[in-house]
Amino acid sequence: MNGYTGSILRVNLKTRKISTIDTKKYEMWGGGHGIGSAIFFDLVKDKAISGYDSGNVVTIMTSPLSGTLAPAVSGRTEVQGVGLQSYPVEWFTRSNFGGRFAGMLKYAGWDGIVIEGKSKNPVWIDIRDREVKLVDAKPLWGLDTWETQKKIWHRVTGLKSYKDWMEVGKSPRGERTTLKPAVLTIGPAGENLSRIASLIHDAGNAAGQGGFGGVWGSKNLKAISVIGSGSIHISDPNALMEARLWAKKSYSWQPGNLTDKLGSHAFSSNPSQGSPSTPGVKSRPSGCMACHKCCRRKTELGGNESSCVDMFFYCFEDAKKHGKQTTASLKASDLIQKTGINAFELETVIIWLKTLHKKGILGPGKEIDTDLPFDKMGEYEFVEKLVTQLETRQGIGADLHNGAARTAKKWGRFEKDLKSGVLALQYWGYPKHYDARTEVEWGYGSILGDRDCNEHDFMMPCYYSPSMNALAGMETYISAKEVSQIIAEKCKPYNDPLMIDYSDEGIYSEHMAKTVAWHRHYTRFWKQSIGYCDWCYADFVNPYAPGYRGITPEAEPKFLNAVTGKNLTFEQGMELGRKIWNLDRAIWILQGRHRDQEVFADFTYEKPQEGHATYEIPYVMTVHEKGKWKYKDVGGRILDRSKFEEWKTKYYTLEGWDPESGWPVRKTLKSMGLDYVADELHSHKKLGRG
């Protein structure tokens, strides 16, 4: 089994039984998400349970490429189970994090971990190669994620210095390593069952969306530590090395070859660009295992390994208070990583609280009583108090630990604040990311799934690059027509140039149904099962590449096949993605999903009254109008309810699902070898007709 270790670790926290699952049984699903969904489907008989239920199963899966030299894929770990964050239903969901955990798990001899049951007392799992123990976590309970990791590192290594060799496990071969264990842990927020609690690994790798921190807390699982001394069988090491050099040379930034083409970057971005530099703060690049891009930084004053929203969520308030960004933002980043709180949700919560405070609804002695110091907004003091209340469920945190959607419901503000957009939760109670009214493939994919999809594949070439150039009065170096041609070439098996037509007609077309289907299938297999990082793939348009044609779809199977020795084509991977997407769909249906639920928050459909506080930003996208391609500002658009419903019918039909219910029909499931899934749906009277 090249690329695989052959074993999946199975830990029952209730019975304390530790066993293994033969990876071969699930190898057909590829890895990561595919295997996770398949195991969840097999092990969880009642899929409609709460995320807090002890019967919930959490899978933590790697891929055949984890721990190898394949770029921007080696370090990703996929987490699945019934989540806590989505509203109104706790959907079966997923999250993902980077770092070195996946590789270390493989070096220890495991393709993944399956967590079942609930421990009577707090425990952590100690994995040293093939030796696995459940350890009392009472001494760790209450510690933040960084303190927890330090304690575990010291306990496992027993060393004062990491330069020394340590013996791993007690095998007769006496394997040794100088590495320290990779630890995935929860902080106090997870222990206190917050629905917006994260899993944290090292300083700033977080599985944030979904609320898996609270799921672990409900299981009394504090951490998993793994240290491995083994290696991974590679089918063709020379081909893997050549593929990496090919990717770096032909598709990536290198010293001395910076392009002047200001366009979309995915695989080609410069190193260490993911997090902001704060004036006067020294830093150096940091990245996940084997990544060529290294999008994060290590700094001397804070914000270590944080990037994206983890680093940004408090910057605006900080800069507003101080006239420039200060170390308050960096300290705030570290604080949420240490307590284990989801930054994306927290940013939305802060903006919402500020609005309610300004309206006179929230504050000391107000309708919503709180002692949060709004005069200290922008100072570290404010965010520290808010996070402390959240993690301990004290004060306003007694409500907010349930997330913004459930808090709004409790406060009687859900309908009005979502209608006005003051609380911009667009799909399943998740904060709006890119707008479903304009960049529709993002919104459609999210509402058809379980969470903010957070997949940037089309975002850069179709929206962000043309929009930024337009704001600066510059021409994008590549025309809308060329972008449509390149994406059509790359989006096998559809190969439809109209897939990126974001015009008022295009967003309700069969072409857009193909876009969403391609995106769902691509991400389910290539990104979430094989682990290709969202910040590098899909690489459609690449300013360094010949003809600006990015590394997708050549790279994805090239690396995979070099490692596994199989001959999987890109299209076969897409078909596997379709299969996984249908399996996930079946799980959601068993949780109660119906097409009637797949609607956005009201503000998505309703034109706000024009005013100083309600305009829409420019949203320049690729459109095809009157037979011609162009970039056009589609900002200010709202979705038409009836047209979106008609579009859903087109999409369901394309997927082979019953348009009336949105449920897959037997023929569709059977064609993918999912007869047993059809039987399960049929037994619950939830199989689509037709």
Partner 1 sequence: MVSLPKPSRDVALRVMGEVGFEERLLGVKMRPMVGNQEHFVYSVKEVIEFLRMDSVEDLLTTGSKAYVGYIDPLVLKNWMAEVIGDKVLAEAIKEEMERLDNFKDQVAAIKMLVSERFNQCVALLEIS
What is the spatial distance between Cα 171 and Cα 547, in angstroms, rounded to a whole number?
53
Q: Does residue 311 contact residue 336 with C-beta atoms inside 8 Å?
A: no
What is the spatial distance between Cα 311 and Cα 333, in angstroms, rounded to a whole number?
5
CB of 75 to partner 1, least distance (A): 16
What is the spatial distance between Cα 461 and Cα 453, in angstroms, rounded to a whole number?
18
**What 8-state DSSP symbol labels residue 525?**
I
Task: Say whether residue 71 binds partner 1 (CB under 8 A).
Answer: no
Q: With CB under 8 A as the contact rule, which of the stretches 10-18, 107-115, 346-354, 388-396 interacts with partner 1?
A: 346-354
Q: Which helix (H) or strand (E) holds 650?
A: helix 641-655
Q: Which helix (H) or strand (E) holds 651?
A: helix 641-655
Q: With CB under 8 A as the contact rule, which of the stretches 111-119, 123-131, 143-151, 266-274 interacts with partner 1?
A: 266-274
Question: What x/- string results for residues 408 through 447 when contact with partner 1 is judged by CB under 8 A?
Answer: -------------x--x-------xxxx------------
Task: Say whether residue 245 binds partner 1 (CB under 8 A).
Answer: no
Nearer to partner 1, 163 or 612 (CB): 612
Nearer to partner 1, 287 or 506 (CB): 287
Nearer to partner 1, 259 or 495 (CB): 259
Q: Does residue 669 contact residue 659 with C-beta atoms inside 8 Å?
A: no
Q: What are phi and psi of 378, to 5 degrees?
A: 100, -25
Task: Say whether residue 527 binds partner 1 (CB under 8 A).
Answer: no
- Near partner 1 in 278-297, by CB under 8 A: 295
CB of 295 to partner 1, least distance (A): 6
What is the spatial distance between Cα 605 and Cα 396, in angstroms, rounded to a whole number?
31
CB of 444 to partner 1, least distance (A): 16
Nearer to partner 1, 107 or 464 (CB): 464
Q: What amino acid is encoded at 431 in this protein?
A: P
- Near partner 1 in 190-219, by CB under 8 A: none
Task: Say whether residue 18 binds partner 1 (CB under 8 A).
Answer: no
What is the spatial distance between Cα 235 and Cα 225, in angstroms, rounded to a whole number?
29
What is the spatial distance between Cα 125 and Cα 9, in angstroms, rounded to a whole number?
11
Task: Please give the C-alpha separations between residue 23 and each of 31, 64, 630, in angstroms, as whole numbers.
Answer: 9, 11, 49
Region of residue 354 (phi > 0: left; psi between -120 and 50: alpha; otherwise: beta): alpha
Distance from chain centroid for Cα 685: 32
Task: Please give the C-alpha separations between residue 161 and each of 154, 166, 300, 619, in angstroms, as whole numbers.
Answer: 9, 10, 21, 53
What is the spatial distance between Cα 12 and Cα 15, in angstroms, rounded to a whole number?
6
Nearer to partner 1, 355 or 572 (CB): 355
Is the peptide bond preceding residue 461 cis, with omega within 30 degrees of 0? no
Q: With CB under 8 A as the contact rule, which of the stretches 113-121, 186-194, 391-399, 452-460 interacts with partner 1?
A: 452-460
Q: With CB under 8 A as the contact rule, which of the stretches 222-230, 459-467, 501-509, 674-682 interacts with partner 1?
A: 459-467
Q: Quick one: which of 490, 609, 596, 586 has its CA closest to 542?
A: 490
Q: Which helix (H) or strand (E) holds 114?
A: strand 112-116
Options 468, 488, 638, 654; binder of partner 1; rule CB under 8 A:
468
Nearer to partner 1, 323 or 627 (CB): 323
Q: What are phi and psi of 15, to 5 degrees?
A: -85, -10
Q: What amino acid is encoded at 288 in this protein?
A: C
Residue count, binding to partner 1 (CB under 8 A): 54
- Near partner 1 in 600-619, by CB under 8 A: 612-615, 617-618
Q: Does residue 384 contact residue 335 with C-beta atoms inside 8 Å?
A: yes
Options 49, 179, 262, 568; binder of partner 1; rule CB under 8 A:
262
For residue 524, give both structure tokens: 């389910």
Task: Say whether residue 632 binds partner 1 (CB under 8 A).
Answer: no
Question: What x/- string results for residues 296 through 335 when contact with partner 1 is judged by CB under 8 A?
Answer: -----------xxx-xx---x--xx--x------------
Options 274, 445, 497, 688; binder of partner 1; rule CB under 8 A:
274
Q: With CB under 8 A as the contact rule, which of the stretches 15-23, 82-90, 208-216, 264-272 interacts with partner 1?
A: 264-272
User: Exposed/middle/buried for 627, CB within 10 Å: 0-12, 13-18, 19+?
Assistant: exposed
Q: Does residue 439 contact residue 454 with C-beta atoms inside 8 Å?
A: no
Nearer to partner 1, 307 or 407 (CB): 307
CB of 533 to partner 1, least distance (A): 12
Task: Say whether residue 154 binds partner 1 (CB under 8 A).
Answer: no
What is the spatial distance between Cα 598 and Cα 86, in angstroms, rounded to a whole number?
13
Question: What x/- string results for residues 166 through 185 when contact with partner 1 is judged by CB under 8 A?
Answer: --------------------
Residue for token digits 């706790």? 90
Is the peptide bond preceding residue 538 cis, with omega within 30 degrees of 0? yes
Nearer to partner 1, 408 or 517 (CB): 408
Nearer to partner 1, 17 or 320 (CB): 320
Q: Quick one: which of 145, 185, 161, 264 has its CA closest to 537?
A: 264
Nearer to partner 1, 253 or 522 (CB): 253
Nearer to partner 1, 114 or 483 (CB): 483
Nearer to partner 1, 373 or 618 (CB): 618
Options 6, 276, 395, 565; binder of partner 1; rule CB under 8 A:
276
Q: With CB under 8 A as the contact rule, which of the stretches 84-92, 267-275, 396-404, 591-599 interacts with partner 1?
A: 267-275
Options 40, 52, 97, 535; binder of partner 1; rule CB under 8 A:
535
Nearer to partner 1, 157 or 286 (CB): 286
Q: Does residue 194 contact residue 406 with C-beta atoms inside 8 Å?
A: no
Nearer to partner 1, 13 or 309 (CB): 309
Nearer to partner 1, 241 or 474 (CB): 474
Q: What amino acid is encoded at 283 in this protein?
A: S
Task: Please give the C-alpha separations between residue 236 and each of 1, 76, 232, 249, in angstroms, as whole numbers.
Answer: 13, 22, 12, 20
What percent of the residues of the chain are helix, what percent strand, and what percent coil, each to the nearest 5? 40, 15, 45
Contact positions vs partner 1 (CB under 8 A) = 262-265, 269-270, 273-277, 295, 307-309, 311-312, 316, 319-320, 323, 347, 351, 354-355, 358-360, 421, 424, 432-435, 456, 459-460, 464-465, 467-474, 535, 612-615, 617-618
